[in-house]
Structure 1
Amino acid sequence: MNLIINNSSQTPIYEQIVDQVKEQIIRGNLKEGNALPSVRAMAKELRISALTVKKAYDALEQEGYVVTVHGKGSYISNIGSNIKLEELRREVEKDFETAIRKGKRSGMTDDEIKELLELILEDM
């Protein structure tokens, strides 16, 4: 598994792991039944504490992305299309919020922002 940890990021390392694993699941790079590396293997690969990896795996399990079988490992669960769709919608919503903030900072009115969105939709 190819995860990139940014030690200078404001985001805690375990959250970086969670976010990247979730993204790989949503994108279809990790599929139901795929085994995650063991906690120790992942910690060694990323050069971080095993407790940090354990915290990330626990968070993934709590959110329903991973199932852990004691003594066997952690596996990607069947999260279903609804969770994937909801996660993608959250991403779109976040992107819209960012774009709207930029528009407002540049002095655009709500009507101008709506008009721009409609123009973009027409062109697609």
Structure 2
Amino acid sequence: MRVVLSNSAGVPLYQQIKEQIGGAILSGELAEDSALPSVRALARDLRISIITTNRAYAELAAEGFIATVPGKGAYVLPLDTALVREQLLRQVEEGLQSAVDAADRAGLDREDLIEILDGLMQAEPEHA
């Protein structure tokens, strides 16, 4: 797994690390029991502070994505289906909020948005 950071993204570096590693875990790119780079190694590779990588790992651990074992490193935990659902719901909410914001700028109303959503869902075979 490769982590790519952007200083111009407007998102804190620790958050970018957390989102990319969390996304890789949710997508299955990082499997259960996979070892993550050490905090020091990741900080060195990304040329950032150990404090930044430590915060990202601490938040991933608090959310149940990884476990850190002193002296051994960080490992991917088995996915909790409730956790996965919550993360996916959060992504849907963020996407819908972006759509609502764009609709406001475009002068669309609720019915217009519902019509667009219905059209998109009907275009997807599993939603038909």
Q: If the length of structure 1 is used for normalisation, what is the TM-score?
A: 0.90
Letter in structure 1 aligned against 2:91: E
Alignment of 1:16-35 (within 5 A): 16-35=16-35
**Structure 1 counterpart of 2:43:** 43
Q: Residue 58 of structure 2 corresponds to which residue in structure 1?
A: 58
> Is there any run of 5+ residues in structure 1 with no aligned partner, and where?
none
Q: Give the Cα separation in 2 of the matches to 1:69 and 1:22.
A: 18
1:121 is the counterpart of 2:115: no
Identical-pair percentage: 37
Give the length in aligned residue pairs.
124
Q: CA deviation at 1:105?
A: 1.6
Deviation at residue 17 of structure 1 after TM alignment = 0.6
Q: Deviations over 1:7-36 (max 9, x none)?
A: 223211111111111010011101111111
Counterpart of 2:106 in structure 1 is: 106
Once the 2 structures are TM-superposed, how far is the Cα of residue 71 of structure 1 from its aligned partner? 0.9
When the two chains are superposed, the root-mean-square deviation of aligned CA atoms in Å is: 1.4
Regions of 4+ moved over 3 Å: none
Match of 1:11 in 2: 11
Return 58-67 or 77-86, whichever deviates more: 77-86
Cα 1:123–1:42 shift into 2, 3 Å: closer
